Amino acid sequence: MSLLPALTGSFSTPAVDNPTVAMMEAAYAHHGIDARYVNCDVAAADLPDAVRGATAMGWIGFNCSLPHKVAVIELLDELAESARLIGAVNCAVRGDGGWIGENTDGQGFLGSLRILTEPAGQRVLILGAGGAARAIAVELALAGAAELWVANRNLAKAAEIADLVNAETSSTCTAVEWRQELTVPASANVVVNATSLGLPGSGVVPLSFDVIPMGLVVCDVIPNPPDTEFLQRARQAGARTLDGRGMLLNQGAINIQLWTGVDPDREVMGRALDQAIAG
């Protein structure tokens, strides 16, 4: 490490439990990348100053997490195509013309899903219609998923995602109002819980696993703790499962690639992430 490393980091609040720093710095150390990753607690009102500070200090990139993913857009100079479609940015990259906004949440999910199955041609039930659901729906559609259902309590938010996917991609997307226990559509191959339900104490995800399609893959976005009750119920019903740790890991790896050009070792990052989560 030189006396003047390249700077990267994260702006969010609360930030105290964000385990990302451990896996990013492990990758930098493993690959001899002369960079640091700084976890910063930034209040909503301070985001413009934080971005100006990053610019002034020559940062090469930063992540944005809650609550900044939409607000940061007007502080950037350009948007990548998927960030424009998703309408949110979780990764800013310093380019020649200023800050470019990217969204790597959905790409991180796809990287994780590909371990079990290719997204092209899949029929996917997405639970939730917030930022994570929107990123996952857009990336699945851009990757050639055949059909999507987006189920949400607030139907208008699900309909917004369905309209976006139907207008901008070749996938078909239907909004579903989700007010009581839902059944997995018989033709679905994949289910994704993209709600914040399922964190300890947040309540049970109202999805029935009594009858599920053969070969169903069930995913959760919650990275910590990764083996959620939702995934445990899915496994008991015979589904293959994928936890949210892989999504977090893969979006971090994509961020490093965007900032430094290095495709980092995911095993090294995963070990550091697991230690941070356990600690």
Tokens matching residue 205 = 């995800």
Using the minimum distance from each CB to ligand NDP, give the nearer residue, 6 or 223: 223
Cβ atoms 105, 92 nearer than 8 A: no
Pairwise CA distance, residues 141 & 262, whole Å: 27
Query: Minimal distance in Å, beta carbon 45 to ligand NDP?
Result: 20
Query: Minimal distance in Å, beta carbon 258 to ligand NDP?
Result: 16
**Interaction site with ligand NDP (CB under 6 A):** 105, 108, 128-133, 152-154, 157, 194-197, 203, 221-223, 244, 247-248, 251
Using the minimum distance from each CB to ligand NDP, give the nearer residue, 50 or 132: 132
Using the minimum distance from each CB to ligand NDP, give the nearer residue, 76 or 108: 108
Contacts 24+ apart (CB under 8 A), 160-167: 160/129, 161/129, 161/133, 161/134, 161/137, 164/85, 164/134, 164/137, 164/138, 165/137, 165/138, 165/141
Pairwise CA distance, residues 148 & 187, whole Å: 11
Query: Minimal distance in Å, beta carbon 51 to ligand NDP?
Result: 20
Using the minimum distance from each CB to ligand NDP, give the nearer residue, 178 or 259: 178
- 157 in active site: no
Residue number of the CB atom closest to ligand NDP: 130
Which residue among 25, 50, 69, 169 is the active-site one?
A: 69
Pairwise CA distance, residues 144 & 119, whole Å: 7
Active-site residue list: 69
